[in-house]
Structure 1
Amino acid sequence: MKTYLKNLVELNDTKQSKRFAYFIQFLIIFSVVTFSIETLPDLQPQTRIVLNTIEAFCVVIFTFEYLARIYVADNKPKFIFSFFGIIDFLAILPFYLAFGIDLRSLRLLRMFRLFRLFKLVRYNKAMRHFANAMIVAKEQIILFMIITLMLIYFAAVGIYYFENAAQPEHFTSIFDSLWWSIVTLTTVGYGDVYPITVGGRIFTFFILLIGLGVVAIPTGIISSSLTKAVEPNEKKN
């Protein structure tokens, strides 16, 4: 039985494993669609009953998959606390919590159902390459995030001293200036808060130049890591 389950739930070249993988992927997408339908206003009670039945069916299958993976895992604690183990657990958690908690008052818990989308990473080769690329580039990404946070704070301090006297209602403190800093460095530019002094505009010009680089750097890091992640698999093939 353990060998059969292992061949069923873990990806391999058998027909049963592929069919099971396609079935789980279909249920993931189907459950996410029904989750979206639940948010429609004025749904008929009969419709909600159907949606709840579909949700219960999906969770039963996901629970079976989760328990089967634990059962066949060589190192059970390692799987439980792995990325996919945590995702599998969070995908079914809201359903069981609903028996003791009114999830209408805890919408955040309902949002945990969206973690089911991450389960698709296990079954999609391209998404697995992307996940591997993120692991390869984790040190560079962490370094980039630290530098970005430093730049955001630096920009917030700079614009505060340039604009506080002219626009005290928008740049009341450095904390208020952080919003402008984030929007500017990410090149979003909502236009709700902008500098009006000469010094502030010149400072913003340089921050915008830095922002263009901030947007481009992650693209280079991830593309390079994707190449490294894909090359070993191509050599095997």
Structure 2
Amino acid sequence: MTNSYSSALDAEQVHVSFGRIEWALQALIVLSLAAFALETLPDLSPVQLLALQGFEVFATVVFTVEYVARVWLTRPWRRYVFSFYGLIDILAIVPFYLSLGVGSESLRSLRLLRLFRIFKLARYNVAMLRFYRALVIAREELVLFGVMALILLYLAGVGVYQFEHVAQPEAFRSVFDGLWWALCTLTTVGYGDVYPVTAGGKLFTFAILVVGLGVIAVPVGLVASALTLAREEIERGAHGAGSNVPTACGIKESR
């Protein structure tokens, strides 16, 4: 009885410790993203720049230790290294080490890769985890929809080119100009830099606008349905043995 109580107490202490590490890592991720934004301020003093650089070194060291620990504890290690979270974790630290041996111009592009750290929050947030699982569930439907959207985009670009090329040879010089118009129209952005002036082109635009509304609605419906399935899956996994749902600081990675 005493041993059972002691084991339960130890498990609870481990859970509390993992929870604290989880919150600390989340805070460090947010602070590192804030530091990235602060580095772009034009009037920073040398002391402020040095402080931001020092914090970047500290954050990178912590993320490196986290990555090495996960590789060391995961069996087999390839399961983590080549998983979604494993790739995000390595992309979050590699830019720092690569920047040590490159020039200032290349350093700017490498610093931009630090934005991958924002995806690390998905591991520690239940809502983001659910969204990730929804994308996995609906991946085939989303890929199919993406292919159909590209086909529709191409047909719309060719169509408006045929209608408007003669009337507006400068605005619609080629199908590629038509593709730009189609992209703005299908996404309902409508920048207004190119637009049809012929009757046929205007009628064609109306049809494309109607289709564009459906283009936005379809993936929203797919993801919404998948989110419901993901919630049920995560809740079943949380109450079942051998769950694939990863804990905040656990090594299990969801597939």
Fold equivalence (TM over 0.5): yes
TM superposition shift of 1:105: 3.2
1:14-163 to 2 correspondence within 5 Å?
Answer: 14-163=15-164
For 2:176 and 2:26, the matched residues in 1 are separated by 44
Query: Which residue number in structure 1 is paired with residue 209 of structure 2?
Result: 208
| Aligned partners of 2:95 and 2:110 also within 8 Å | yes
TM superposition shift of 1:233: 3.1
| Aligned partners of 2:130 and 2:234 also within 8 Å | no
Query: Which residue number in structure 2 is paired with residue 182 of structure 1?
Result: 183
Kindly indicate whether structure 1 or structure 2 has the higher relative contact order, using CA contacts under 8 Å at least 6 residues apart: 2
For 2:134 and 2:172, the matched residues in 1 are separated by 40
Of all paired residues, the percent bearing the same amino acid is 50
For 2:123 and 2:95, the matched residues in 1 are separated by 21
Counterpart amino acid of 2:218?
I
Counterpart amino acid of 2:71?
I
Unaligned 5+ runs, structure 1: 1-11
SS of corresponding position for 1:104: helix
TM superposition shift of 1:68: 0.3
Classify 1:22/1:126 alpha carbon distance in 2 versus 1 (closer, same or farther; 3 Å).
same
Aligned length: 226
Classify 1:106/1:49 alpha carbon distance in 2 versus 1 (closer, same or farther; 3 Å).
closer
TM superposition shift of 1:106: 4.5
TM superposition shift of 1:92: 0.5
SS of corresponding position for 1:41: coil
Unaligned 5+ runs, structure 2: 1-12, 240-255
Query: Which residue number in structure 2 is paired with residue 164 of structure 1?
Result: 165
TM-score, normalised relative to structure 2: 0.86
Give per-residue Cα distances to partners, 1:37-73, cap 9 Å, x unaligned. 0011121111000000000000000000000000000
TM superposition shift of 1:111: 1.1
Counterpart amino acid of 2:117?
R
Counterpart amino acid of 1:39?
T
Moved more, 29-38 or 168-177: 168-177
Give per-residue Cα distances to partners, 1:72-129, cap 9 Å, x unaligned. 0011122111111110000001110111012533433211100000000000001000
Counterpart amino acid of 1:202?
L
Q: Is residue 2:196 matched to residue 1:195?
A: yes
For 1:196 and 1:234, the matched residues in 2 are separated by 55
| Aligned partners of 1:38 and 1:48 also within 8 Å | yes
Counterpart amino acid of 2:143?
I
